[in-house]
């Protein structure tokens, strides 16, 4: 599995640690930045390269870390083809993939520790989209929203 990862200054340390953990676990990891710690960087700037890679299917899944996880989640969901969510517990880490075809997990580097982050990432990357009729119906509505089409 090809995994893309990105973080701003508030998630930079966790990103570096995740790259090592993911690589050791056998994943093909691409770092989309930040590539150096910069206390003045902005999360929208770091999420765009990763989001575009997800949308173009250059990576199978993405991981984004900022201080709370909220900023990268909000910004990433503005990119068509990205289905991102802030995740803080294991159920949503797999259910988001299984039911909603979530392809980007957003994490708060200042609010959860590395052990939980690693648990959530493992759960996320090991989950598979169910693809059942009701999930496809709902996903198609989300895709229509991305294209500014009326769904109701």
> How far apart are alpha carbons 42 and 19 in whole angstroms?
21
Per the residue annotation, which of 9, 94, 99, 106 is the catalytic one? 99
Which of these is catalytic: 9, 35, 66, 106?
Answer: 66
Tokens encoding 92: 């949503």
Structure tokens at 94: 């797999």
Give every CB contact of residue 10 below 8 A, 6+ residues apart in sequence: 65, 66, 67, 109, 110
Please return the burial class of 96, using the count of CB atoms within 10 Å of its CB with bins 0-12, 13-18 and 19+.
buried
**Residue 35 appears among annotated catalytic residues:** no
**C-alpha to C-alpha distance for 103 and 69, rounded to whole angstroms:** 15
State both tokens at 57.
């299917």
- 66 among known catalytic residues: yes
Q: Which residues are catalytic?
A: 66, 99
């Amino acid at each position: 599995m090809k995994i893309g990862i990105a973080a701003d200054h508030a998630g930079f340390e966790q990103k570096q640690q995740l790259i090592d953990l993911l690589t050791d676990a056998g994943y093909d990891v691409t770092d989309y930045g930040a590539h150096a710690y910069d206390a003045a960087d902005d999360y929208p700037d770091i999420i765009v390269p990763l989001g575009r890679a997800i949308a173009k299917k250059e990576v199978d899944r993405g991981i984004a870390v900022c201080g709370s996880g909220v900023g990268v989640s909000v910004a990433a969901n503005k990119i068509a083809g990205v289905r991102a969510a802030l995740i803080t517990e294991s159920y949503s880490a797999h259910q988001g993939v299984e039911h909603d075809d979530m392809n980007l997990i957003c994490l708060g580097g200042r609010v959860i520790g590395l052990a939980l982050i690693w648990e959530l990432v493992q759960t996320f990357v090991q989950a598979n989209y169910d693809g059942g009729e009701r999930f496809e119906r709902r996903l198609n509505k989300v895709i229509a929203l991305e294209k500014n089409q009326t769904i109701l």
